[in-house]
Amino acid sequence: MIIGVAGLGTMGLGIVQTYAQAGFSVLATDAHGPARGSALARLAAALAPRVAKGAMTDEARDALLARVTVIDSADQFAPAALIIEAIVERLDAKQALFTALAAAAPEAVLATNTSSIPVHQIAAGLARPERLLGLHFFNPAPVMKLVELIGPVGCDPQALALARQVTEAAGKTVINAPDRPGFIVNRCARPFYGEALALLEEGRSPGEIDAAMQAAGYRLGPFALIDLIGADINLAATEGLSAAMGGHPRYHVFAALRAQVAAGALGAKTGRGFTFKGEAAPVPPDAASIVARIEAALVNEACWLLSEGGVTRDGIDTALKLGLNFPRGPFGMLDHHGAATIRATLAALEAATSLKGRYAPAPELAA
Ligand SMILES: NC(=O)c1ccc[n+]([C@@H]2O[C@H](COP(=O)([O-])OP(=O)(O)OC[C@H]3O[C@@H](n4cnc5c(N)ncnc54)[C@H](O)[C@@H]3O)[C@@H](O)[C@H]2O)c1
């Protein structure tokens, strides 16, 4: 089976590698000539560390590269059974591309890797909108196991089945996600950062908050994770979700995050961030209450998402464990703390906050 990939930037190239290393033939293109011209060399460079440490032979690398054909334009995608788009995050650009792809390959299943645009909006205007679905990979695509599969209302079940089958064959764990803002991971992750930023604004330090979370089994604390991904990316994701959710206080954009971006302290990419101030902080004496607070907010967000439909408890837990490296998913946290404790924690937070409604419990948590 032939897979198509449109867009050969960070994600597109990673998606090409994902399918090609699983044995699929891949057709790939980019609107930008130099991105097409350099694609195979960039792919070879991405594989070089594995070849160097003996995890991949020269022959396997060459065979993988031989399975990838860079084409000049979308017109040449006709042989592809599934075409995945990973171009610029703009609705008009994606719609124009999918119109061209639908004309070039009328029988192909079309998929978008969008992070933030509702999939049904991208599909609107296509002659056969039911052929378009979301396949949301995480960065770096060849490494991250999780892929969120988004089937908007009316999506063709056979299209969804094909996308799932080939993506699982490429070694991914595919989780059904609703066509709701942020899908699962980008939405359910918000409280991890949001509660940490709330604590920061209340006078706690990034070091002690991260230390508390790490002591509870999290590989990285919220601030280290912001620094790894980039405060600018985190701010854009938070602002995008806040706007998409009508400015609900659960998605409040904290001034501390805005200030960090304004100061250019974006994390790893600028060498300055929340956590780049020196040695790791000791675990604070009240670490358990920091963890309980952040986890209560994580549980509540997951319960709100669950109440909106299109997703299961297991799906959410798996998505957060694989997408964020969490030691347990929100429903694992709910089992651990118990609904009564979560309700009490949320009630205390609601009583103390000026962001009224931020901690209103989801129906799932009702006594
Ligand atoms: N970077 C991430 O962490 C991440 C994670 C998940 C999803 N996404 C989504 O994946 C998509 C791509 O993101 P990225 O980070 O790879 O971006 P990128 O800027 O690295 O790459 C985008 C590529 O698309 C090309 N392009 C632009 N318009 C095009 C068009 N009309 N036709 C063909 N190619 C075109 C550009 O030349 C560029 O090479 C976006 O929708 C983004 O939201 C990104």
282 φ/ψ angles, rounded to the nearest 5 degrees: -70, 160
Q: Of all protein residues, whose CA lies closest to atom 40 belonging to ligand 1?
A: 89
CA 135 – CA 156 distance, rounded (Å): 14
Q: Which of 201, 148, 210, 219 is nearest to 179 (CA)?
A: 148
Q: What is the pLDDT of residue 125?
A: 87
| Distance, CA of 84 to CA of 56 (rounded, Å) | 26
Report which protein residue has its CA nearest ligand 1's atom 3.
139
pLDDT of residue 365: 95
Cα-Cα-Cα-Cα dihedral sign, residues 359, 360, 363, 366: positive
Which two tokens mark 359?
């901690």
Q: Which protein residue has the closest C-alpha to ligand 1 atom 39?
A: 9
CATH code given to domain 186-365:
1.10.1040.50
Residue 96: what pLDDT? 97
Question: 290: which 2 tokens?
Answer: 């920091």
- Mean pLDDT, consecutive 10-residue segments, the chain of 367 residues? 97 98 98 98 98 97 98 96 97 97 97 96 95 97 97 97 98 97 97 98 96 97 95 95 97 98 95 82 96 98 96 98 97 97 98 97 92
| Three-state secondary-structure class, residue 49 | helix
Question: What atom in ligand 1 is closest to the CA of residue 14?
Answer: 16
| pLDDT for position 46 | 97
Same fold, 2-177 and 186-365: no
Given the CA of residue 233, which atom of ligand 1 is nearest to it?
Answer: 3
DSSP conformation class of 80: -
2-177, superfamily in CATH? Answer: NAD(P)-binding Rossmann-like Domain (3.40.50.720)
Domain ranges of the chain: 2-177, 186-365
Q: Is 114 helix (H, G, I), strand (E, B) or coil?
A: coil
Query: What is the reported pTM?
Result: 0.95
In the numeric block, the tokens 């994390």 are attached to 267
